[in-house]
Amino acid sequence: MPAKSMLSGALETLINQVIFLDPDSQQRLAKLNHACLSVYIEGFADGITLHFSDKVDVSVESESFEMLASNLSPQHCCIKTQLAVLPELKETSQLTRLIQQKKLHLEGDINVAQHASALFRELDIDWEEQVAKYTGDVFAHQAFTVAHRWFNSVSEFTQKGQRVLANALVEEKELAAHKLAVLHFCDEVSDLRNDVERFEVRLAQLESHLS
């Protein structure tokens, strides 16, 4: 099987599996019935087209963005952007700004882009429930509880580190942090290391209990 067909098939399977995990996604998908969204990423020769019905079909576009955009059918939107800009497309309110900044080139029906963005942005999937189908409710709940605590610890550590660095730069007006700031940062690193060690112990206990 050609590599392009394998790529489109794998992407199609992944998209549909994720969408169907959210029961409410069918309502958003209905707004895109018979619509198409073609996406080109700068630096890649081919584009990807999503064909919407009661599911999503994926095909590879060998035509250039300019060629495809010159002959679009109704309910077909064609966009070209950079890989780094893709996360910003989730917010439909940012489309106009991105177009004005020439970070996004859009041709065709902009409503298709907005509805497609909403389809993926509003996905509400209970991942704990999905994991529980394979591991059981108790293990899934405990594993997600530990993971949430670990994630919160990392987030808190990151925020504290940013504040320490910002204060050091502002107060000292030097690139090198103040000695006290460095000591405080080291303390935070130690706390994070301890949290990670506790997480690893707890995870090992859960795995042992499951087996």
Q: Is the domain of 111 the same as that of 139? A: no
The residues that bridge with 96 in the sheet, in sequence order, are none
Pick from 31-40, 188-197, 199-208 the range whose average pLDDT is largest. 31-40
Q: How crowded is residue 80: how many other Cβ atoms within 10 Å of its Cβ?
A: 19
Q: Is the domain of 108 the same as that of 65? A: yes
Mean pLDDT score, 159-181: 56
Q: Hey, what are 10's tokens?
A: 């794998």
Q: Is the domain of 134 the same as that of 181? A: yes
Range of the domain at 113: 3-121
**pLDDT classification of 177: cutoffs 50, 70, 90:** very low
Q: Torsions phi, psi of 77, nearest 5? A: -120, 135
pLDDT digits (tens, 9 = 90+) for 60-87: 998 999 999 998 999 999 999 988 888 8
Q: Is the domain of 113 the same as that of 135? A: no
Pick from 46-55, 97-106, 195-204 the range whose average pLDDT is largest. 46-55
Q: Is the domain of 62 the same as that of 98? A: yes
* Residue that finishes a domain, picked among 69, 95, 121: 121
**pLDDT classification of 1: cutoffs 50, 70, 90:** very low
β-strand 76-81 against 56-61: which pairing, if any? Answer: unpaired
Q: Is the domain of 182 the same as that of 200? A: yes
Q: Is the domain of 107 the same as that of 17? A: yes
Mean pLDDT score, 152-173: 58
Is the pLDDT at 175 greater than 50? The verdict is no
**pLDDT classification of 97: cutoffs 50, 70, 90:** confident
In the block, which residue shows the tokens 């050609």? 2
- Give pLDDT, residue 84: 86
Mean pLDDT score, 74-102: 85
* Residue that finishes a domain, picked among 72, 103, 121: 121
Q: Is the domain of 113 the same as that of 141? A: no
- Give pLDDT, residue 88: 81
Q: Torsions phi, psi of 135, nearest 5? A: -115, -15
User: Among residues of the chain, what percentage have pLDDT more than 70?
Assistant: 58
Is the pLDDT at 53 greater than 90? The verdict is yes
Is residue 119 a contact partner of residue 28, using CB atoms and an 8 Å limit? yes
**pLDDT classification of 92: cutoffs 50, 70, 90:** confident
Q: Is the domain of 15 the same as that of 103? A: yes
* Residue that finishes a domain, picked among 93, 121, 149: 121
User: Which domain CATH number covers 87?
Assistant: 3.30.1050.10
- Concatenated DSSP letters of 158-174: HHHHHHHHHHHHHHH-S
Domain count, the chain: 2
Q: Is the domain of 15 the same as that of 41? A: yes
The residues that bridge with 77 in the sheet, in sequence order, are 37, 108
For residue 78, which of 97, 96, 64 has the smallest C-alpha distance?
A: 64
Q: Is the domain of 106 the same as that of 148? A: no
Q: Is the domain of 175 the same as that of 193? A: yes
pLDDT digits (tens, 9 = 90+) for 128-158: 555 555 555 555 555 556 555 655 555 565 6
